[in-house]
Homo-oligomer: A and B are copies of this chain.
Amino acid sequence: MDFIKLISAPSPARIVLTVIDGLGGLPNPETGKTELETANTPNLDKLTADGICGLIDPISPGITPGSGPGHLALFGYNPVRFNIGRGVLEALGIDFDLQSGDIAARGNFCTVDKAGLITDRRAGRISNEECTKLCQLLDGLVIDKVKVLARQVREHRFIVVFRGEGLNPAVSESDPQQTGATPKLITALAPEASSMADIANRFLTQAGIILAEHHPANMLLLRGFSQRPQLPTMNEIYKLKPSVIASYPMYRGLAKLVGMEVLQTGTSIEDELATLKQNYNNYDFFFLHIKGTDSAGEDGDFDRKVKIIEQVDNALPGLTNLAPDVVVVTGDHSTPALLRGHSWHPVPILLHSKWCRPDKVREFSESACLSGGLGRFPATQIMSLAMANALKLNKFGA
């Protein structure tokens, strides 16, 4: 990245990075075709025919990425070096405005018996309303000048943010990851984190008292203590003026971490493309995120994933009619409906530009992209390729 920073140069050329979340799939045993291969996608196929394609490894072969690393890699950041903690990711997911120095942890309400042993790590999956109510009871506690903020996520899940001076996230988790055990004491994993551990333990004691009467949610577990990472911005690295169009908050949050400006948009693909059109003249980089494919994959709903891919294809002219200098279409990872979750399988990518040296591939699919001109490569190289195709990179060396 230091290297790209040396040779990147601003220009009016526009790049649109379209991320169809969880795009890659696995073949349906009945048809032998993946979700993308099953979908009827004339517009994506046309773009593929005129462009160049390949397969990306979000992290490296065999590694299944979470949404954080998957997206950081797409933006050109080493996802292993710049790791985003669970607490921070949950906070981004609810649009919580994390401040520098804040320590975020992921919380689970749980059930303990009279001996203090955990009987249900998820407190019977209490309702969202109940979760909100309990968070209000915890929110605003002050322990040794450290303010504790609690916000509902979903069902038994919530976040706790510790805001104060000199806090350090290097502490252990309280969740023993099993029932029949007591919540674990939080310990400092580095000397400078001893006050964080102390405050977290005091918070847990106090919370235990407050929650005692709220069975089944009569205790809580904390994990993933983390701090907003300090990332160089995409403007610093690529000299871009970048923006994000995403209907889900977590992706807007991830994009904000690398300095993208958030464009207000609606919930449908059409809304997102309308937002792109409205803002097209104000930015030179757009990260356009489509969530539905990943959710369908996680639900194991092969047919719904196919349909959403077809919806994206149908809406695609709204993007291509703007004639961006560079269009990239890919995913942050695979989410095969058959696996009902993220997977390690490489993800199809297509790149379209005037200078892309088209290959012979005419169909956007896992099997066709295998013989694409981009070959198989790490997702962290997508940005240099996009920048090169936008003629935004100077020659290296004389």
Contact = CB atoms under 8 A, between A and B. Distances in A.
B397 A66 contact: yes
Interface in A318-369: 336, 338-339, 341-345, 355, 357-360, 366-367
A341 B388 CA distance: 13
Contact of A66 (B60, B345, B359, B395): B395
A61 B385 CA distance: 6
Given A62-B385, A370-B373, A398 B84 contact: yes
A394 to B, nearest CB: 8
Contacts of A343: 355, 388
Contacts of A396: 59, 63-66, 69, 79-80
Q: What number of copies of this chain does the assembly contain?
A: 2
A224 B384 contact: no
7 contacts: A3-B63, A61-B381, A62-B383, A62-B387, A63-B393, A83-B397, A338-B355
- A contact residues, range: 35 or more
B69 A397 contact: yes
A86 interface: yes
Interface string A1-45: 001000100000000000000000011000000100000000000
A343 B64 CA distance: 33
A216 interface: no
A371 interface: yes
Contact of A3 (B64, B80, B342, B359): B80
B339 A63 contact: no
A232 interface: no
Interface in A52-77: 55, 59-70
